Structure 1
Amino acid sequence: MTKHLGRVTPSSVFSKLFSGFLTGPVPVLEDRGAKSSGADASSERRLLPARRTWVAALLIWAVACIFHLGLLALAHSQHKRHPTPETPLDIDFPGYLNVWDATFYSRIYANWYPHELPVRANGSVDFNNWAFYPLQPLLGGGIANVFGIRFSIASLVVSLLAGFVLAVVLYRLFIGSLNWRARGVFDTRALVGDESRSRLALWGVAVYALSPASPIFVTGYAEALSTLLLALCVWCVLRGRYVLLLPVALLAALSRPVGVPLGAFVGLWWLWCTVSDYRIRRAGEVSQPALSDAWAAFRGRFGQLLGALLVCSFAFVHPLYAALYTGRPDAYLATELGWSHRKPSDGHQYFIQWVNQIYRDFSGAVPKAVLALLFVALIVGFYWWISCKFSRTLIHPAMWLWTASYAGYLFVFWLPISSTIRILLPLFPLSLLVVSYLPKSRWYRPTLAVLSILMSAGWVIVLWGNVLITRHIVLVP
């Protein structure tokens, strides 16, 4: 702090306000009673070899990618029985891996976004490029232009590279969370003596890499890139790197529509840190009024608050660009609502779209009142599950807040269609939570991996093999 003749100068006030911006310390958590063993103490700073940590995570991801590519190759050979406009008979394998959503990325690369929105006869906006975000086509297009290759291949390169980096980031997040549980410190290193925690983190990566919708990571979809950026955002928050968080969060908000839950997560984390700082101040010898301690806690996290507000603003970048580019203020909203043949005048449904969509899927066989009760039970059950003592003490609070924020975003805004399983991929902390049950069991985690393989195979067969395409139903991955 800069002082002059016993007075606090304006520069010191400024530094106080922004002290939590460049690097805000993560609140120190109370000791859970986990004591370091003698082996841990003697092996401090001795890292486990890379082949047992991040290299193993890369190998696991590579095996999963090979398996997924094999599944999709089988689906490619089978789709010829049910060709569609997106998958004609003569489409090659790279082209097949760039159908559905990835088709729009190739259109953005070729023609950018439309100046005028296509409108249906009922007044709703027809399918168009504005529903998809520009980062994947920009990166894929850049690679295609530099190396002179097809965009479909370049987009696959982006997804594959992002996926392998994601494997390392997930391992670091998982081992850091497990170390936090054991030592009370978020340490992304695996030291000698941490072998069991490292194995558990690798199991978390394996189950996630083989999870039902994980084959999407070897396609031209933006899921691999978006999930990587989200995981990096969680890492930045956990390490208190709020300046680094800003460009990463901006890129994440330009990869897929994840700006709203990301902004909510960073804002809630600021609140959690501020309340924790206040409680720490009040837990010691109380020498100041509660209001003074509250102001001190707020002031110490003011820079972090500004960063959180900036992250929240990133959710509006793409919709604002759409408004300016088309001259229509509701261009993005109208496009999103048009996906379900609705108009902005119909209003955006919150929560109730789950009930209405499932009611239509079952052709009205289940009363809406029953579906509403089941939906409420789903929300309550989910938050009870991630809030029980085992979950709270396993997942770091920042990872818990990300999970709660993203799930809440889906409950409020998401229209449950056949893409729902793919949309759940950002809930990656749940993979660590699931594999942590039955710690002494030898069959539990291998069984989880086998079940994940079977479910991912089913997901590919159903949504990419076109076996369920009929005259009226087309399931979109």
Structure 2
Amino acid sequence: MALAGLTDRGARLAERWWLWPLALWLVSRLVSTAFLGAFAGVQGRSFWTPAGPGLLDYSTMWDAHWYYIVAMSGYPAELPLDDDGHVGENAWAFMPVYPMLARAIMALGLSWDAAAVLLSVAASAAFALVAYRLLQEIAPGRERFALALVLLSPVAPVLQLGYAESLFLLLLSGALLAWRLRAWEWLWVLVPIMSLTRPGGLAFALALGLWFLVRWARERDAFPPRERWMLVGLGAWSALWGFGWLIACTVVTGSIDSYLETELSWRSAYIGRQELVPFTPWPIGLEWWFGPWWPVWLVGIVAAAVALLAGPWASGVALEGRLWTIAYLVYLAAVWFPQSSTWRLLLPIFPAAAIVAALRPGWARALVLAASIALQPVWIWFCWHHIAPDWSVP
């Protein structure tokens, strides 16, 4: 009887699996809101806000203003040029799904600030649910701590700001879960939307390609031809949408260089105008930051990534989660110029939190989680809070 009672109780808890991720999400948002509210109270007058702005105004600074421009005005057909004739910063650097959805929410009578924050908060709650299911699939037994580490990470406040991160993470976690469950039909739908929310299509195509190669090498005879062709098709589909926004920008502006030149305009404040040569931005950036010591930093960063993903603790995470993390890091290595936004751009490797969840003993995990929470106000202060002149963009 007692055993039957425990079994029934376990079944009821399994049916209500969503309680844990939603409770964790609520706690995490209360923590981040408290930090953001405290900093809003001491924010001076800035380009975006008056002194001591309300929480909504404070939550829609920086690039949230570009999303506002996209929502209200769309994209320019003629690109702005700086004094040297180079393409200047413009709205094409910001993809359309997030601002268009926020604009649709404004139809409920909400202001832009309220609509943008509401969208981010709602997407973060949905992300908590889908990510929890994904983590259950790729790292059973580690899902609770892994999700806690993601939702309470140093950059977790961005999940409720006027940025596209929450929505992108929701779509990404859905795509990864569909991949894990072999629900291929969902990937045909999710990949285009995800790729027009934030850049990710090329990394996803690479992840699928790596998985194809691994399966071909390990289980060629048990790798059905139909599934092979499905992966080839989905990889090509992801790659196409990875270039989709560049193609759209080219069609509207009439210049094939317009999107890349737009993106390069943001890093020109650091290193001047340079061409994008894959895998050179990190050496160039690290040299700008650390001078002749840059090779030491580069070796250290690569060694840390390899240690995280190739160590024995990573074996408890399913191949899909590890391959996505590798593919996304390779993508960043190829195109990203390292600066203060790098911390935010690491959020998509959230499946790697399941690797950290293997830490033993328990006090070590508690220490990591406490450090993550303690670093939230540090991130807000250095990256979000604005004190002119401010080069540490979020």
Q: What is the TM-score of this pair, normalised by structure 2?
A: 0.92
Q: Distance in 2 between matches of 1:106 and 1:346?
A: 29
Check the 8 A contact 2:42/2:52 in 1, yes or no.
no
Q: Distance in 2 between matches of 1:89 and 1:220?
A: 19
- Which residue of structure 1 lines up, in the alignment, with residue 156 of structure 2? 214
- Which residue of structure 1 lines up, in the alignment, with residue 267 of structure 2? 340
Q: Distance in 2 between matches of 1:344 and 1:50?
A: 55
- Which residue of structure 1 lines up, in the alignment, with residue 287 of structure 2? 359
Over the residues paired in the alignment, what is the CA RMSD in angstroms? 2.5
Report the alpha carbon displacement of residue 177 of structure 1 after superposing the two structures with TM.
2.1
- Which residue of structure 1 lines up, in the alignment, with residue 252 of structure 2? 325
Q: Which 4+ runs in 1 deviate beyond 3 A? A: 42-48, 50-53, 273-277, 296-300, 342-346
Q: Distance in 1 between matches of 2:53 and 2:377?
A: 22
Check the 8 A contact 1:109/1:137 in 2, yes or no.
yes
Distance 1:299 1:44, change over 3 A: farther
Match of 1:372 among 295, 308, 311: 295
Distance 1:474 1:303, change over 3 A: closer
Report the alpha carbon displacement of residue 345 of structure 1 after superposing the two structures with TM.
8.7
Are positions 1:457 and 2:384 aligned together?
no
Report the alpha carbon displacement of residue 101 of structure 1 after superposing the two structures with TM.
1.1
- Which residue of structure 2 lines up, in the alignment, with residue 224 of structure 1? 166
Q: Distance in 2 between matches of 1:375 and 1:48?
A: 50
Are positions 1:476 and 2:393 aligned together?
yes
- Which residue of structure 1 lines up, in the alignment, with residue 366 of structure 2? 446
- Which residue of structure 1 lines up, in the alignment, with residue 139 of structure 2? 178
Are positions 1:406 and 2:328 aligned together?
yes
5 Å-filtered alignment, 1:83-232, equals 83-89=45-51, 91-145=53-107, 147-179=108-140, 197=141, 200-232=142-174
Report the alpha carbon displacement of residue 50 of structure 1 after superposing the two structures with TM.
5.0
- Which residue of structure 1 lines up, in the alignment, with residue 31 of structure 2? 67
Question: Deviation string for 1:354-401 (max 9, x for gaps)?
Answer: 232233334xxx31xx3124313422441243112321x211001010
> Which of 242-251 and 335-344 deviates more?
335-344
> Which of 352-361 and 454-463 deviates more?
352-361
Check the 8 A contact 2:41/2:52 in 1, yes or no.
no
5 Å-filtered alignment, 1:407-446, equals 407-438=329-360, 441-446=361-366
Residue 410 of structure 1 aligns with an amino acid whose one-letter code is L
Residue 259 of structure 2 aligns with an amino acid whose one-letter code is Y
5 Å-filtered alignment, 1:216-365, equals 216-278=158-220, 280-281=221-222, 297-298=224-225, 300-341=227-268, 346-362=274-290
Q: Distance in 2 between matches of 1:262 and 1:269?
A: 11
The residue matched to 1:340 in structure 2 has which SS?
helix
The structure number with the bigger radius of gyration is 1
Percent pairwise identity: 27
Q: Distance in 2 between matches of 1:340 and 1:178?
A: 37
Q: Distance in 2 between matches of 1:178 and 1:334?
A: 41
Check the 8 A contact 1:337/1:344 in 2, yes or no.
no
- Which residue of structure 2 lines up, in the alignment, with residue 76 of structure 1? 40
| Uncovered stretches (5+) of structure 1, i.e. residues with no partner | 1-38, 180-196, 282-295
Distance 1:124 1:398, change over 3 A: same
Check the 8 A contact 1:207/1:452 in 2, yes or no.
yes
Normalized per residue, which structure has more helix?
Answer: 2
Are positions 1:55 and 2:19 aligned together?
yes
Report the alpha carbon displacement of residue 135 of structure 1 after superposing the two structures with TM.
0.5
Distance 1:462 1:356, change over 3 A: same
Check the 8 A contact 1:274/1:298 in 2, yes or no.
no
Check the 8 A contact 2:41/2:53 in 1, yes or no.
no
- Which residue of structure 2 lines up, in the alignment, with residue 12 of structure 1? none
Match of 1:389 among 312, 315, 320: 312
The residue matched to 1:106 in structure 2 has which SS?
helix
Residue 340 of structure 1 aligns with an amino acid whose one-letter code is R
Q: Distance in 1 between matches of 2:248 and 2:272?
A: 18
Q: Distance in 2 between matches of 1:436 and 1:150?
A: 44
